[in-house]
Structure 1
Amino acid sequence: MKRGILFLLLTTFWGVFVEAGNNKEVPVSNLRVPAYPLVTIDPYISAWSHTDKLYEDEVRHWTGTEHSLTGVLRVDGKCYRFMGKGEQALTSILKDARDEEWTARYTNTMPYADWYTKEYNDTEWQEGAGAFGSADMPHVKTEWNQGDIWIRRKFSIEDKNISKKRLYLVYSHDDVFELYLNGQMLVSTGYKWRNYVVQPLDAEQVKSLTAEDNLIAAHCHNTKGGAYVDFGLFTDDEMESFFGTEAEQTKVSVLPTQTYYSFYCGPVQLDLKFTSPLVLNDLDLLSSPVNYISYEVRSLDKCAHDVQIYFSATPRWAVNSLDQEVSVENYRSSDIHILKTGTLEQNVLGKSGDIICIDWGYFYLAGNLSESSDMSVGTPRSIQESFAGKGILPDTKISRTSVRLDKEEILLAYSENLGNVRERKSEGYLMIGYDDIASVQYFGKNLKAYWKKKYPTMDAALADARKNYKKNMQRCDEWDYKVMKDAVEAGGQQYAELCAASYRQAISAHKLVCGPAGELFFFSKENNSNGSIGTVDVTYPSCPIFIRYNTEIMKAMLDFIFDYSESGRWKKPFAAHDVGTYPLANGQTYQGDMPVEETGNMLIMTTAIAIVDGNADYAAKHWEILTAWSNYLAEAGMDPENQLCTEDFAGHLAHNANLSAKAIMAIAGYGRLAEMLNKPEEAKKFTEMAKRMAIEWERRADDGDHYRLAFDMPGTWSQKYNFVWDKVLGLNILPDRIMKKEVTFYLKTQNKYGLPLDNRFTWGKTDDTVWSATMADSEGDFQELIRPIWKYVNETSSRVPLGDWYETLNADYINFRARSVVGGVFMKSLDYYLRNKRK
C-alpha cells in the first residue's frame, strides 16, 4: 500500500477493491449469511440481525435475546424504518423461567400414549417448578439430567380478546424435544438443543385456547451432557406503531470488520455501515469497547428532501433478566452527548455460564455534540411520537432515572437533522460502547480489559473513538482489503466470502485482558456449548486466523493454559480442557478430560507459532511442560484409549484414528521445535518417532480406498483433518499417498451441503471440513469441497450466527452458534501464506 503496489478504490460504501497492475477485482461479498454481525465487541456484547432484511426482526444478542436497535429515516415528514421492529416487545401470557419459576406436573417414567391430552389423569405425577434441567443450566428449579422427562403445565387465560392477538410460543430444550398445546403438536426437534426459540402460533392453535382449561405438555430426552426444558406463551405489545412503513433494502454485504447495507427510503438512498474495529494486528483497536454505526444519505431524484435520522436502543443491552432495575443517565463529556445505562445492583462478575447476558457494567449510546443532533431518554411513545411528528426528540429534561424493565420500557434515542439533501450526500455516525468494569476473574483476581491500560474511563475511550473516527475507519477499510485479498488469492472468491462471514464471530467470542502481572490474555467463551472459558479444543480449531495474523494473540490464548500446569494448580500429566466457566477462570469445570486431544492441541499450536515467528523462543519458555506432554503422547497417543476428542458431542471412542493423527502431528511438532532450539538428540528422537508412528498408523487405519474411523472398526471412515498440519507446517512426516487417498474419498462421499464428519452421522463441521479441503493438492479439489460449505451458509434456513455443527443433507444447523471455532476457516489462507514464506 505505502509503495503504491496496491491501492483501494472506495467510490462509495459500494465501491470495489482493485489491485493495481493486473486489474484484479475483489468484489464485496455476495454471500447471504445466516445472521449479520452488527455490534461485536466481546462474548457479551454481540448483536446480530437474524433476518435477510434489517427491519424484519429485532436486533438480537447471539443467544437470541432482544438487544433492540431501531433505525428510522424521516424524509419530507414520512418515516421509513430501516432497522428493528420499533421496540414492540413480547408480553408474557404464560411466563417462562427467565421471569419467574412456574409449576407443573412431571414424571421420568414413560406415561400412557395420551399423556399430552387435557383429559389425561396426571395426579400421580410429581409437582415441580420450572425450568427443569441440570444444575448448571440457567433458571433451573427442578433438577433432571438423565434420560427422559414428561411435563404437563395447565393454565388459564384472563384476557378475553386473546383470540384476536398474535401469540408466540417461546421454548428452550436440551436435547430431543416435543411439545403439544391442547393436544396439538407444535414442536418436534430431533437431536438438537435450542434456547428461547420464538415460534408464532397459527390461527387454529390460537383458537384452541380457552379461558379456564389449557395445557402445554412437553417431553424431552437427554442424550448426554446438560439437560433443559423451559417454555411460555407471549403476545405482541399493543403499542401504537409510529414507524410502520419499512424502507426497501437493496443491498447487504459482510466484510471482515464491517457490514454494509443500502436502502431506498422513498426518494432518497440510505447507506449504512456497522464497524467493529477488530483489527488483529492492532491491540488498541482489537480491544476497543466502541463500535461505529455510519450513515450516508443522498437524493435519488436530484430534488431537495428534508431528512432526519433516528436510532434508539433499550437498557436490555445491560441486563440478564427484565426484572432487574436499571439506571439511565443523559450527559455530555468532551464534545460528546452520552446516554448510559446499567443495572443498579452491579454484581460485577457475579454470573457465569453459557446462555446468559451481562448484567454488570454499562451500555453507552454516544454521538457528537452539535446543533443538528440530539439525544434523549423517555418512554417509547413519547420518543417515537415526537420524532415521527416533528423530526425531533422530545425535550424530556431527564438527566438520570431508574426503571424496572418488566414494569416499564424506556428508550435511549439519538437523532440528527440532515437538512436538505439534494446532490451532495449528508453523512454522520454514532457510537455504541460497553464498559464491563472487570472482564474476567483469574484464580480469584479480577482482570480488566486491555483497553483500560490506555483509557482511565469509558468517557475517555469514547472521546478517542470520536477523535480518531476517520483514521479508524480507514484502518478497517485497509484491513478488510488485506484479509479479503489474502483469502481470494489462497482459495477463491467463495472461500473469501466464508472468511469474511467468520472473521468477527471468531474474534468477538474472546476478551482481551491484562493478566495479574500485566501479561496479555485472550480468553475465549465456548458459546452455545457449555460456556467454558479458555477451552483448548475451541482454541485449536479457531487458531488459523490468529496464527495467520498475530502470533502474539495466539500466545495470549495459550499462556493461561501453560500457567495452569506450570503453577502446579493442574497436576495431571496432560493438558487441561479449560480454566473455568466464562467469565470465571478459576480452574477447569468441564466434567471430564480430553488427554490426547488437548495435549496434542497445545503442542501443535506452539509449533505453528514458532514456524510463523521464525524462531522457537516462545516454546523455549515452556520447554519443561512441552517435554512432559510430548512424553505423554509418545506413550498414549498412538492408539488412544476410550476418550473424548473435540467432537465430544459424538461421544467417547477408543482407537480413534483422527485422534492418533493429532498425536503424531504433535510429536512431529515437538521434534521440529527441538531442531529450532538446537537440541539435535531430541529433534532426531521425536521426528523419527513421528515417522514410525505414521507408518504404523497407515497399517492400522487402512481400509481400502480410505482410512478408518477407529483402528478396530473396518468398514468405517472419518475426516482426518488433523493431518493438515503436515502440509501447512511443512513437517513432511506422512507419505504423500495418505492425504491423496483421503481427499479422493472425501470428494465422492460428501453430500449436498458438505462432507460429514464420519460414517456414523450426516453431521458436518465447517472448520473441520475446510481443514480437510486444505489437504487437497489441486485447486479444483479444494473448490469441490468448499463449494458445499458456501452453499450451506448461503441457503440454511437456520437464522443464527454461523453454526459450525450442521446437517449436510438439508443445511439445518444442529447447534453451536456464534462460536470462535469458525476461525478455522482461515486454514487455507494460513497454508497459502506459509507456502509462500517457505519459497
Structure 2
Amino acid sequence: MRLFNVASVFSLTLAAVVQAISWTATPFNPSSIPLAVRTPYLSAWLAQGEGAALNDAWATFWTGMIVGWAGFVKVDGVPYVFMGTPSVPAAFSKATQKSSQFTSTKSIFVLSAGPVDLTVTFLSPVEPNDLVKQSIPFAYMAVSAAATDGGSHSVLVYSDISAEWVSGDNTLTVNWTSTTTGSILTHQVQLENPTVFGEINDHTQYGSTFYSTPNAVGATFQTGADVTVRAQFINNGKLANTLDTAFRAIEDNWPVFAFAHDLGTITTATTPVVFSVGMIRDPALEYIVAGGGTQSRNLLFMSEFTTSAAVISSFLGDYSAALARATAFDAQVQRDAGKISADYAAVVALSIRQALGATELTISKTATGAFNTTDIILFLKEISSDGNVNTVDVIFPAWSIFLYANPALGKYLLEGLFRYQATGLYPNAWSVHDLGASYPKALGHNDGLDEAMPVEESGNMVIMALSYAQKSGDISQLQRYSGLLNQWTGFLINDSLIPANQISTDDFAGALANQTNLAIKGIVGIGAMAEIESLLGNAAQSANYSSIAKSYVTQWRNFSASTTGAHLTLSYGNSSSWGLSYNLFGDKLLKLNLFPASVYAEQTAWYQTHANAFGVPLDTRHTYTKTGAYLGQTTVR
C-alpha cells in the first residue's frame, strides 16, 4: 500500500535535518542517538542539537535531564575524554570523533585518542523471540581499542555513572553498595527513601541502578565525588579500590560509581571491555483487577533470576551471543525495510529501540507467591506527553513493529486493556483511551473520564485484535473478549459514518466533527469485526457486519469527496480542506479491500503535489506533519 511515495518523504526529511558535523554519520545523523534504551526508566540518549560528538554532551534521560555517564582513556600515559563533558581538576585532552553509526539495536562511535582508535558500542538488545531476555532492563557499553600507526601502545579505559540515574530530583539522598560476586564487579545505587510506584519528572522514584563489569585482571573500582574519582584515574591510570560511604544528595559532590580496566600493550583491535547498566524495580507496576482491587506485577525475568547478581552475571556473560543475535536482527530489518528504500530502512532502524524501550513485560504471582509465567501483560508508557499507561492510539502507530518482531508482544499489549474492560469497571460503551493516567499505575478509569476518543480507540482495538489473530493464527483472545469487540463495533456502527465532534489520535490538532479520516477508522473496524465473526464461526453476524461496512464505504465516498479538487476532504462538506488519510492503512493491513483503488490513486496523486520540506502536512489546519502517519504505510503489504 502507498498513500504517498514514502521513500520520497524520508529523502526530503533526512536531507533537511542533516547537521554540519565533522564525522561520518551512518546512515544519517539523527536528532538524538539511543545509548541505553530498554524501558521507560532505562532510557539514555545523546541529543544532537547542531551535532554533538559522544564527548560533546552528557547523556540524558529521554526528558532531557542529565544522567551522568563519563568515559576516559589513557594512551601511553596521555588521558583523553571519550564520553561526556566532565570537569576535572586534572589535565586531559579530548578524543576526536571520527564516525557514528546506528542500527536497530546498536549505536557505534569511533574516536581517535592519539595513535589509538576507540570503538564504543552501545547495545540495547532487542530479543523478541526470548521474552525473558527482552524483559531484562539492562543495556551494554563495550569499548575496544586498536593502534592506527602500526605501533604498540599502552591503553587504560575508565567509565562511571552518576547517581543521577536513580531519580528525577537531584536534591534527594541516595545510598549505594559495591560488591564482587564471582567474576563480576557491581555498583548499586538507590534512593534512601524510595516511593513505590512513584515518579518525579518521569523518572522512577524506587528501585536500584546497577553498573557492572567483569572483574578481569587489571580491573579497579572506586566510588566518590565525581572530580575526585575521575582525577584518580587521570593522574594514576587506575582506581583506588575504595568506597565512599558518606551517603548524600545526588547533587552533593555528585557521587559517581566507576570502573577502570588496564588493557595492557595493544596493537590490533582488543577484545571489548564490557560494562552493563540497568535498573531493577520490584514490583514493576500496579494493575487494577476485577472488583476494583489492585495487583502488583513483576518483570518477567524475575521468574528465572532470583537475585540481581544472578541476572547481571547472566547478562554480562551473554554479551558475545547477544551481539551476534543483535547483528542478525539488524540485518533482517535492513533487508526487509530496505525493500522500500535505504532512507526508510534508516528511520525504521532508529525507531525500533524507541518503540520497544517504552515497554515492560510483566507477570503476576499466584496465591502462594509463585510467579505465574502464563499471565503475561506488556505495559507501555506514553512517553513525551502525559505518561499514560497502554494508550490505545499510541500502541496503534507502533503496532507494526510488534507484529513484525513477534506478534505475541501485540497480544500481551492488548491483554491488559481487554482484561480491565471485561471487569465491567469501565462505564462507557466505547473502548477506554488508556489503562491509567500515570505510569506505572495502571488503575483504569472507573469514572469514565479518560480522554475520550470513542471512534479512534474502538476502531483501533478491533483492528489490532484481528491483525494479531491473522498474523499468529491464535483466536483465543477473540474468543475470550468477543462480547467487548461486539460492543465496540456496535458503537462504531452508530458513530463512525458521520462522526460526532470529537478528537482523534491527532488530539493536539483539536476536536472536529465529520472527520473523513476518523470515519475510515470506524468503517475499517466494522469490516474487521466481520472477519472476526467469520473466524469465530458466526456466519450470519459476519455477513451483517460486512454488509454494513460496504454500505458505509459507499456513503462515505459521497460525504468525503471534494467538489473543488480530486482529493478527500478533512471534514465532510469542507471542499477546500484535506489531510493525510492514513487510516486506510488498516484496510490494507487486514486485507479487507473495503475502499476502492480509486481512493488510493487519488490521494497518492494529491499528496505528490503537496509535499513540503518535511513531508506532506498532516492536514490543512497546520503545516506540521508526523512520521507516524508514514511509518506504517508500507511495512505490511
TM-score normalised according to structure 2 size: 0.90
1:424: Cα distance to partner? 5.1
In structure 1, distance between residues paired with 2:143 and 2:420: 46
Q: Among 460, 474, 479, which residue is 2:329 paired with?
A: 479
1:285: Cα distance to partner? 1.9
Q: Among 360, 363, 382, which residue is 1:526 paired with?
A: 382
Q: Among 204, 224, 231, which residue is 1:385 paired with?
A: 231
Q: Per-residue displacement from partner, 1:218-263 (whole Å, max 9, x unpaired)?
A: xxxxxxxxxxxxxxxxxxxxx63544x2111111111111111111
In structure 1, distance between residues paired with 2:314 and 2:117: 30
Find the counterpart in structure 2 of residue 548 from structure 1.
404
In structure 1, distance between residues paired with 2:625 and 2:313: 45
Q: Among 344, 349, 356, which residue is 1:507 paired with?
A: 356
2:497–2:522 Cα contact (<8 Å) kept: yes
Find the counterpart in structure 1 of residue 256 from structure 2.
411
In structure 2, distance between residues paired with 1:615 and 1:667: 20
In structure 1, distance between residues paired with 2:377 and 2:198: 20
Q: Per-residue displacement from partner, 1:750-773 (whole Å, max 9, x unpaired)?
A: 1011111100100101011334xx
1:714: Cα distance to partner? 2.2
Q: Among 299, 320, 330, which residue is 1:470 paired with?
A: 320
1:303–1:422 Cα contact (<8 Å) kept: yes
Q: 1:342 to 1:747 in 2, by over 3 A?
A: same
1:539: Cα distance to partner? 0.7
Question: Within the alignment, does 1:582 sit opposite 2:439 as a pair?
Answer: yes
Q: Secondary structure at the match of 1:699?
A: helix
1:242–1:384 Cα contact (<8 Å) kept: no
Q: 1:41 to 1:420 in 2, by over 3 A?
A: same
Query: What are the within-5 Å matches in structure 2 for residues 17-32 of structure 1?
Result: 29-32=26-29
Letter in 2 for 1:432: V
Q: 1:664 to 1:496 in 2, by over 3 A?
A: same
Query: What are the within-5 Å matches in structure 2 for residues 611-760 of structure 1?
Result: 611-703=470-562, 704-760=565-621
Find the counterpart in structure 1 of residue 456 from structure 2.
597
Q: Secondary structure at the match of 2:231?
A: helix
Find the counterpart in structure 2 of residue 421 from structure 1.
266
Q: 1:515 to 1:310 in 2, by over 3 A?
A: same
In structure 2, distance between residues paired with 1:251 and 1:38: 15
Question: Within the alignment, does 1:332 sit opposite 2:180 as a pair?
Answer: yes
Q: Among 143, 152, 156, which residue is 1:295 paired with?
A: 143
Q: Secondary structure at the match of 2:197?
A: coil
Query: What are the within-5 Å matches in structure 2 for residues 121-132 of structure 1?
Result: none
Q: Among 260, 263, 278, which residue is 2:126 paired with?
A: 278
Question: Within the alignment, does 1:48 sit opposite 2:48 as a pair?
Answer: no
Q: Among 403, 422, 425, which residue is 1:569 paired with?
A: 425
Letter in 2 for 1:604: I
1:384: Cα distance to partner? 1.7
In structure 1, distance between residues paired with 2:234 and 2:358: 37
In structure 1, distance between residues paired with 2:243 and 2:602: 72
Q: Per-residue displacement from partner, 1:158-186 (whole Å, max 9, x unpaired)?
A: xxxxxxxxxxxxxxxxxxxxxxxxxxxxx
1:63: Cα distance to partner? 0.4
Question: Within the alignment, does 1:81 sit opposite 2:81 as a pair?
Answer: yes
1:401: Cα distance to partner? 4.3
2:41–2:279 Cα contact (<8 Å) kept: no
1:263–1:271 Cα contact (<8 Å) kept: yes
Q: Secondary structure at the match of 1:44?
A: coil
1:371: Cα distance to partner? 2.2
Q: Secondary structure at the match of 2:247?
A: strand
1:649: Cα distance to partner? 0.6
Letter in 2 for 1:317: W
Q: Per-residue displacement from partner, 1:449-470 (whole Å, max 9, x unpaired)?
A: 1111111111110011123222
Find the counterpart in structure 1 of residue 281 from structure 2.
436
In structure 1, distance between residues paired with 2:307 and 2:616: 49
Find the counterpart in structure 1 of residue 9 from structure 2.
none
Q: 1:602 to 1:692 in 2, by over 3 A?
A: same
1:416: Cα distance to partner? 0.3
Q: 1:614 to 1:542 in 2, by over 3 A?
A: same
Q: Per-residue displacement from partner, 1:275-329 (whole Å, max 9, x unpaired)?
A: 1112222212211122111121111111111110010110110122111110021
1:602: Cα distance to partner? 0.1
Q: 1:286 to 1:29 in 2, by over 3 A?
A: farther
Q: Secondary structure at the match of 2:338?
A: helix
2:117–2:146 Cα contact (<8 Å) kept: yes
Q: Among 189, 207, 226, which residue is 1:341 paired with?
A: 189
Find the counterpart in structure 1 of residue 216 from structure 2.
370
In structure 2, runs of 5+ residues without a counterpart are: 1-23, 289-293, 367-371
Q: Structure 1 vs Structure 2: percent identity of aligned residues?
A: 26
Q: Secondary structure at the match of 1:764?
A: coil
Q: 1:350 to 1:770 in 2, by over 3 A?
A: closer
Letter in 2 for 1:572: N
Moved more, 368-377 or 66-75: 368-377
1:524–1:534 Cα contact (<8 Å) kept: yes
Moved more, 367-376 or 66-75: 367-376
1:524: Cα distance to partner? 1.1
Q: Secondary structure at the match of 1:749?
A: coil
Letter in 2 for 1:766: T
In structure 2, distance between residues paired with 1:657 and 1:378: 60
Find the counterpart in structure 1 of residue 163 from structure 2.
315
1:67–1:317 Cα contact (<8 Å) kept: yes
In structure 1, distance between residues paired with 2:194 and 2:229: 27
Letter in 2 for 1:473: L
Letter in 2 for 1:34: S
1:516: Cα distance to partner? 5.9
Query: What are the within-5 Å matches in structure 2 for residues 124-163 of structure 1?
Result: none
Q: Among 287, 305, 327, which residue is 1:455 paired with?
A: 305
Letter in 1 for 2:306: P
In structure 2, distance between residues paired with 1:275 and 1:544: 22
Letter in 1 for 2:72: V
1:406: Cα distance to partner? 3.1
In structure 1, distance between residues paired with 2:630 and 2:38: 28
Find the counterpart in structure 2 of residue 783 from structure 1.
none
Find the counterpart in structure 1 of residue 206 from structure 2.
360
1:380–1:409 Cα contact (<8 Å) kept: yes
1:509: Cα distance to partner? 1.0
1:378–1:412 Cα contact (<8 Å) kept: yes
Question: Within the alignment, does 1:395 sit opposite 2:241 as a pair?
Answer: yes
Q: Per-residue displacement from partner, 1:687-713 (whole Å, max 9, x unpaired)?
A: 121111111111000013101111132
In structure 2, distance between residues paired with 1:685 and 1:637: 16
Higher alpha-carbon Rg = 1
Q: 1:590 to 1:449 in 2, by over 3 A?
A: farther
2:226–2:253 Cα contact (<8 Å) kept: no
1:394: Cα distance to partner? 2.2
2:90–2:234 Cα contact (<8 Å) kept: no
The CA RMSD over aligned residues, in Å, is: 1.7
1:305–1:420 Cα contact (<8 Å) kept: yes
1:402: Cα distance to partner? 1.2
In structure 1, distance between residues paired with 2:267 and 2:467: 55
In structure 1, distance between residues paired with 2:481 and 2:431: 13
2:146–2:269 Cα contact (<8 Å) kept: yes
Q: Secondary structure at the match of 1:539?
A: helix
Letter in 2 for 1:35: S
Displacement over 4 Å in runs of 4+: none
Find the counterpart in structure 1 of residue 152 from structure 2.
304
